[in-house]
Amino acid sequence: MQSFNLTRYFSTLSFILIVMAGGALGAHFRDNATRQLVADAEQRNVALTQVFRNSLWSRFTRHVELSYRRDDAAPRQAEDGGALRAAVVGMMAGTAVVKVKLYNRDGLTVFSTDPAQLGEDKRANAGFRSALAGRPVSELTHRNSFDSFEGTLSDLDVVSSYVPVVLADGRVEGVVELYQDVTATLREIDRTLWRLSLAVFAVLAILFLLQLVVVRRAQGILRQQSDALEEANRELDRRVRERTAELEAEVAERRGAEARLDHLAHHDPLTGLPNRLMFFEQLGKSIALAARAGRQLAVLFIDLDRFKEVNDTLGHAIGDELLVAVTHRLASHLRAGDALARLGGDEFICVVEDITDPREVGIVAEKLIALLSRPFGVHDHELYIAASIGICLYPGDGEDVATLVRNADTAMYQAKAHGRGRSHFYTAEMTVYAQERIRLEGLLRRAIEAGELELHYQLKVAAASGRPTGAEALVRWRNAELGAIAPIRFIPLAEETGFIGELGEWVLREACRQMVAWRAAGLVVPRVAVNLSVKQIERGHIIETVRAALDDTGLDPAALELEITESLIMNAEDALGVLEQFHRLGVHLAIDDFGTGYSSLAYLKQLPVGTLKIDRAFVVGIGANAGDEAIIRTIVALARSLGLATVAEGVDSQPQFDFLRALGCDEIQGYLFSQPLPADEFARKWRACAA
């Protein structure tokens, strides 16, 4: 910004004003002074003329031809003209008059101190005419050379006055022209003018300088203020810029946070796939599009088999990586348009759009299953999992998001029920089954209060002697509407719904209570085995529950055996820790369904387990399947080398019993000796066997 320079502005303006004022003042002064000078000179000339008329006029009228005419011959100077001139000069001596001329009424020069001018005609001269009319007139002129009666003068300022010669009767007889030398006066005026000008200039200059000081000071203050203002403006600008940048950053950050929140709200943080919420939105759109175009689409509900085992044995970090690897594999084999989402845990869901034949979807599902059954390399582990897929079609199996997803889920359960690593299309009957499950669950939750649960006990006998050694407690459910329901139907249901906690606790307490009751009645059953579900252990507090059951009933811990499935030991987090706590509690531990899992020998050695229960699946093969027999042989030999007892379950024929006894299996459990029986019947059976 070009700042306003007050000093320069003031100086220029003042200079111009001073010059103008000085000039105007000087001009005015000079004008006044010369006018005064001319007036004074004129006054003197008038006075001289008066003197001239009074003293010399009579001589003039005698010697000068006042009646002289133009057409006359050149006027003659009177014979004593020289004397007249001398008289005039004498009269003028001592005055400033340097020349005198006399004109008659006709304007002819009838006398002049310069004789050369005699006869000149001044009729047309304005001065002459004014004087003739009675008004004297004067004029200031500068002459470079002037013929005066004292000779030729140079550089002269003269005031020439035309003055009327008025007679006593008031008549104007002629006009005298007097030239008065005012050179000295005019020079004095000019000198005075110069001095005055100098004084004025000096005063103005001092004034100017004083004002300049003030103005400079003012300018300094102004500049300071302007600088301060500019600085303040710059500061303000800077702050505005800073604040703007801050605000922009804030806005960007907020937008980013919003975008992140939005992403989080709609995506699974682990795999980055859309989550349930977003999937439901996408599916809604896909349904709307399919409806408009009259097309079919399929919803595939994918559940990983054995994922839990990986998670439980190798830890959540590996489990998470496996899920990411699964996501990549699924995503890479789906079409770009097919929406894939993770619903949670090991459940994925995807939409295959634009289907003309449901068989296409079956092929897609089989491909995905094959894809997921290939091993996954996660860190140093080679992991084998599989997937079960439920398929549901729009519009055939449902027309809205909720129905389609629910039906695909139902179909997935059906696929699992048919054995893992399969796909299954939804059928209407499945919904009936699913509804049945819901009804069953409701009834089961009320079963304890309703007193519908009961424990049956199955005898275990020593293979060598056939004498009873203990019992396994097996839960039974008899409902008024449904009749007897097999554990294989309601135990998994209780596990899925979480009801297993209550149910398991009830079984434990009931078994302990029964044992104490038997003992009180004189029936000494050395040990009762109670099955524990993997979910009971996962829910926590199992140690406390067992301890409380023992404490509350007063049963000796050594009389309680807990049957834990082999898969539980391999899968449950910190299974070893839990088993050790059980061991410290003094209860016995048995591995149920042994041979079906994958327990490593090394791991087995660490466990505080006393018994291996050979699974019924192998016992069935005795006499028919050499492989099963080999497995049993191995298990027995293994148990012996580890110092463990063996129990064979599901023994229902003599050849099976003979085979097992010959091998050296310690105990036998099965229909061959007894079915699971209600407590009182079991007591009778026990007494009969023990006798």
**Binding residues for ligand C2E, per CB under 6 A?**
458, 474-475, 486-488, 491, 504, 507, 531-533, 563, 592-593, 616, 649-652, 670-671, 676
Query: What CA–CA distance (Å, rounded) separates 567 from 571?
Result: 6
Q: Where are the alpha helices (DSSP H) in 374-423?
A: 401-417
Nearer Cβ to Mg ion, position 268 or 667?
Answer: 667
CA 223 to the chain's CA centroid: 42
Strands 468-479 and 453-462: antiparallel
Choose, by CB under 5 A, the member of 177, 505, 593, 628 that binds Mg ion.
593
Nearer Cβ to ligand C2E, position 361 or 609?
Answer: 609
Q: Which helix (H) or strand (E) is 93 found in, with range?
A: none
Query: What CA–CA distance (Å, rounded) separates 300 from 313?
Result: 28
Find all residues with CB under 8 Å of 143, minimum gap 6, and list them. 153, 155, 156, 157, 158
Nearer Cβ to Mg ion, position 298 or 591?
Answer: 591
Nearer Cβ to ligand C2E, position 107 or 501?
Answer: 501
Select from ligand C2E, Mg ion, none the partner in contact with residue 597, using the beta carbon and a kind-dependent cut-off of 5 to 8 Å.
none
Token match 């004109």: residue? 103
Nearest to 179 by CA among 88, 97, 111: 97
Residue 669 is a binding residue for Mg ion (CB under 5 A): no
Least distance to Mg ion, CB of residue 567, Å: 12
Q: Return the range that interacts with Mg ion (CB under 5 A); candidates 123-131, 441-449, 516-524, 560-568.
A: 560-568
Instruction: Confirm if 114 and 152 have CB atoms less than 8 A apart.
Output: no
Q: What angle do CA 455, 597, 325 make, to 5 degrees?
A: 120
Instruction: Confirm if 514 and 679 have CB atoms less than 8 A apart.
Output: yes
Nearer Cβ to ligand C2E, position 381 or 616?
Answer: 616
Least distance to ligand C2E, CB of residue 532, Å: 6
Least distance to ligand C2E, CB of residue 355, Å: 41
Least distance to Mg ion, CB of residue 363, Å: 39
How is 127-149 classified by DSSP, letter by letter? HHHHHHTT--EEEEEEEEEEEET
Nearer Cβ to ligand C2E, position 60 or 477?
Answer: 477
State both tokens at 628. 């099963």
Least distance to ligand C2E, CB of residue 621, Å: 13
Binding mask 513-532 for Mg ion (x = CB under 5 A): ------------------x-
Nearer Cβ to ligand C2E, position 360 or 652?
Answer: 652
Residue 563 is a binding residue for Mg ion (CB under 5 A): yes
Residue 409 is a binding residue for Mg ion (CB under 5 A): no
Select from Mg ion, ligand C2E, none the partner in contact with residue 676, using the beta carbon and a kind-dependent cut-off of 5 to 8 Å.
ligand C2E
Select from Mg ion, ligand C2E, none the partner in contact with residue 475, using the beta carbon and a kind-dependent cut-off of 5 to 8 Å.
ligand C2E
Select from ligand C2E, Mg ion, none the partner in contact with residue 486, using the beta carbon and a kind-dependent cut-off of 5 to 8 Å.
ligand C2E
- For residue 415, the SS3 value is helix
Select from Mg ion, ligand C2E, none the partner in contact with residue 598, using the beta carbon and a kind-dependent cut-off of 5 to 8 Å.
none
Query: What CA–CA distance (Å, rounded) separates 117 from 109?
Result: 7
Query: What CA–CA distance (Å, rounded) separates 98 from 591?
Result: 164
| Positions that interact with Mg ion (CB under 5 A) | 531, 563, 592-593, 649
